[in-house]
Amino acid sequence: MKQYPHQGPPIYETRRLKWIGFYQTPNRTFFSDDIGRLTMAEVGPEVLADVAYGLFELALNKEIRAEGNNLFQLVENNIDFKERFITFFSRFMDEYPQLAEALQVEFGGIDPIYEMITQGEGVVPSRTTKMYWIIQEAPDIAPEAIEDELAGKWLIFLPQDLVDEAWKKVRDATWANILGISAKVSTAKPNPDSRDQMKVIYVYTADWQDEAEVMRVREELRKLGFTDRIGYKRNIETFKGEYAQKGKRVTFYSA
Identify the burial level of 44 via C-beta atoms within 10 angstroms of its C-beta, where 0-12 means exposed, 13-18 middle and 19 or more buried.
Answer: exposed
Q: Does 100 share its domain with 198? A: no
Last residue of a domain, one of 110, 127, 144: 127
* 3-state class (DSSP) for residue 75: helix
Q: Which residues pair with 23 in a beta bridge?
A: 30
Last residue of a domain, one of 107, 127, 147: 127
Q: What is the pLDDT of residues 101-140, one digit of tens each?
A: 999 999 999 999 999 999 999 999 999 999 899 999 999 8
Counts for the chain of helices (H) and strands (E), in that order = 10, 8
Q: Does 95 share its domain with 139? A: no
Q: What is the pLDDT of residues 23-79, one digit of tens each?
A: 444 444 444 444 444 444 455 556 778 888 988 998 899 899 888 889 999 999 999
**Containing structural domain, residue 142:** 133-254
CATH code for the domain in which residue 206 is found:
3.30.760.10
Q: Does 141 share its domain with 229? A: yes
Q: In whole angstroms, give the CA distance from residue 91 to residue 215.
A: 43
Q: In whole angstroms, give the CA distance from residue 87 to residue 78.
A: 19
